[in-house]
Structure 1
Amino acid sequence: MIAKAKSISHGIRAMLYVSGESRNKKHPEKITRICDNFMPQGMDASGIWTEMKFATMDRPDIKNNVIRLEISPAMEHTGDFTVEDWQQLWNDFAAAFDKQEILNDDGEVIPVPTNISGSKSSVWLHREAKSGIPHLHAVVCRIDENGDINNDHAIHIRAHRAAEQVARQRGWTTAKHIHESRIPQVSEDCMEALRELDEWSWEGYAEKLAAKGYELHLRKDKKDVIRGYVLHKGSSRFKGSELGKGRNLTASRIERTWEKLHPGQAEQESPTPKQPVITTPNPSVHTESEQKPQADAGRNNPVYEYYTEWQPDRLRTEFEYAGKNYDRYIPEKVLDCLNNEFDFRELANWQALQNLAIAFFTLVASPYGEVSGGGGGGSQSDLKWGRDPEEDEIEFMRRCAREASHRLGLQKKSGMKRK
């Protein structure tokens, strides 16, 4: 079981998405209301949002006035769940969430705990994910029924710990345990791919793994030297550094591992074979209804990433570009940086700026050219756009923000515009 949380300012957008009223939701019939707490029952997204706005209207200093949560148990644990079972899971999670002790920067326990159990909230079950895994979405008011604020310091840590605690209480395997339990099989698949490979090459390794259902993504430095790799299979990701025995499947050691499996063939090879130059396998092309970028988006980039898959340190982010809606999973620290770059309290066009910066960051768009046909990413320009291997994600987001500012300008709420 995994969970994530984020305090946000765009509560109405979150409610539209969670309730299935968003135009971005293709299958609202697969979304079920689980419970509305401390509010009239059965309201639509607008009514729920209005209730939460009234609760926070006396606290204009609160920038992010709702908390968005996602809770995803393993499918095998919820196959026979009723609505009442999902309600109980939410109640258990909320109680565990509120009990977490979080430390401040000085190592002291924050004296005021959260009280999402005693706050207005709306909880919905989603069954429309491609993985088929049912999961809960919740929107919670930042002000509880006692008028106290729900502290959002390290809120993602609260969610992670609460999910682990509830999973242990119910005897469920945790996300970490599931991942670790799969590593031996993935390692064996990698070894089998090496055994099947007549001649060592990254390209051949990728082909053998593709036949077993894996996608190989190489990580290179500025000199085009392969420093690591990641295997994708479904929604799971496995780093080469965590596979094999004694790190024998890492990027730096995998060729020697192949040589040990093929001693006769290795002796016939040149003692200093030239490393073949290949391009990193691109993700498959999807239609825009699936919200995947086109495969050519990063063709000139030394390092690129689409941020289309969930990871523990990432948050689902919705944004609009060129009239189309996108979902991506972006590191929380990067989103915090973006909120600082374009503060909604100061800028009238903060939303447009954020949307464009995220489009640049996720390679849905490039500042060097128009988006190519088909609705995905991909610049028609030959200029490179992407994150350098040694460039921090936050620095890259700042570059994206500067590009967005250059194109749209900064419109202060006073009506003055500066470029």
Structure 2
Amino acid sequence: MIAKAAVISHGANAVRYATEKDKAEIIKLNLLPYDIPLESIWQRMVIHQKKFEAKLSRHRPLQNNAIRIEVSPARNESEGWTHAGWERLANDFVQEFDRINMSSRAGRESAARTNLGDSQYVVALHRDSRSGIAHLHIVANRVDMEGRVNDAHFIYERAMETARRINIQRGWLTAEERSEQNRQQIADNCLDVLRQMSKFDWEEYVQLLGRKGYVVDLKRDSKDIVRGYTVGKGNSVRDAT
């Protein structure tokens, strides 16, 4: 499983994308009523922020007022999951995300921990239109229920560390292990294609790898001579220069 996170200023667009894209499935509404229209989710979050506007604007306005997170297990890790399985993953992710202490790295105590568990957020399930691989979108209010701001320092790293911990807890491959596995698979497939060729030809090589689902990017010099190439499938890319 991999994950990424960011603080954003366009919460309305993020919620709309998470909840309305194609056949998005709502997995969880945290501290939000389930009987409200989807388009009202972000409005509820803004209304909550308005309650603490004086406090939040004491130093400067809170512009990046939402947190966007994507959680992507591998196909084999989530195969056969029901709604309940995805909700468990969302709950585990948020709980672990809140446990990570970034105060030492950020050099400030306010970066110790987030409090998403006591913040409004929506979790939606998306499925890739081509591969069918499923992943979660989480959009959270930057302001928790007590009016405290969820810290954003090193939030991308916080998400990656959360994914690493959950991978270990569940016996899944870490991002590093999966990346190495993918690189090795690409290398094996490249060698397999080469063994099929009676003589080497770039056009045939690219075509045969394409049949295996790979995209090959040839690196040519000013004389149109191939000096290297990359082979990729999804998020896996191998530099064969």
Q: Tell me the TM-score normalised to structure 1 length.
A: 0.51
Aligned counterparts, 1:1-400, within 5 A: 1-20=1-20, 25=21, 27=22, 30-57=23-50, 58=53, 59-60=56-57, 61-102=61-102, 107=105, 109-112=107-110, 113-127=113-127, 129-220=129-220, 226=226, 228-233=228-233, 235-240=234-239, 250-251=240-241
Structure 1 residues 174 and 53 mapped into 2: Cα distance closer, same or farther (>3 Å)?
Answer: same
| Distance change in 2, residues 1:180/1:51 (3 Å) | same
Q: 2:103, 2:109 within 8 Å by CA — same for their partners in 1?
A: no
Q: Which amino acid aligns with 1:40?
A: P
Query: How much has 1:216 moved relative to structure 2?
Result: 0.7
- Would you say the 8 A contact 2:194–2:205 is kept in 1? yes
Pairwise CA RMSD of aligned residues? 2.4
Letter in 2 for 1:195: R
Q: Which amino acid aligns with 1:159?
A: A
Structure 1 residue 121: deviation in Å?
Answer: 0.6
Contact in 1 for aligned 2:231/2:237 (Cα 8 Å): yes
* 1:34 Cα deviation from its structure 2 partner: 1.4
Aligned mates of 2:187, 2:176 — CA distance in 1:
17
Q: What is the identity, as a one-letter code, of the residue corresponding to 1:7?
A: V
Q: What displacement does 1:123 show? A: 1.0
- Does the Cα contact within 8 Å between 1:230 and 1:237 map onto a contact in 2? no
Q: Which has the higher helix share?
A: 2
Q: CA deviation at 1:5?
A: 1.0
Q: How much has 1:210 moved relative to structure 2?
A: 2.5
- Structure 2 CA distance for partners of 1:101 and 1:85, relative to 1, 3 Å: same
1:206 deviates by: 1.6
Residue 150 of structure 1 and its aligned partner are, at CA, apart by 0.9
The answer as to whether partners of 1:218 and 1:226 remain within 8 angstroms in 2 is yes
* Higher RCO (C-alpha 8 Å, min separation 6): 2
Q: Scaled by the length of structure 2, what TM-score is found? A: 0.84
Q: Which has the larger radius of gyration?
A: 1
Ranges of 4+ aligned residues in structure 1 off by more than 6 Å: none
Amino acid of the structure 2 residue aligned with 1:69: I
What is the rounded CA distance, in whole Å, between the counterparts of 1:223 and 1:152 in structure 2? 48
Distance 1:222 1:36, change over 3 A: farther
Amino acid corresponding to residue 180 of structure 1 in structure 2: E
> 1:302-361: CA deviations, max 9, x gaps?
xxxxxxxxxxxxxxxxxxxxxxxxxxxxxxxxxxxxxxxxxxxxxxxxxxxxxxxxxxxx
Whole-Å separation in 1 of the counterparts to 2:219 and 2:116: 41
Deviates more, 1:190-199 or 1:10-19: 190-199
Give how far 1:227 is off.
5.2
- Residue range with higher mean Cα deviation, 125-134 or 199-208: 199-208
- Report if aligned partners of 1:220, 1:228 keep a CA contact under 8 Å in 2: yes
**Identity rate of aligned residues, in percent?**
36
Could you tell me how far apart the structure 2 residues matched to 1:93 and 1:175 are? 15
Q: Deviations for 1:189-243, whole angstroms, at most 9, x for unmatched residues?
A: 212323333444433432332243322112456776655422123x242213xxx
Q: Indicate the larger mover: 214-223 or 88-97.
A: 214-223
The number of equivalent residue pairs is 232
**Runs of 5+ consecutive residues of structure 1 not aligned to the other structure:** 241-249, 252-419
- Whether the 8 Å CA contact 1:69–1:139 is kept in 2: the answer is yes
Q: Mind listing any 5+ residue stretches in structure 2 that lack a counterpart?
A: none
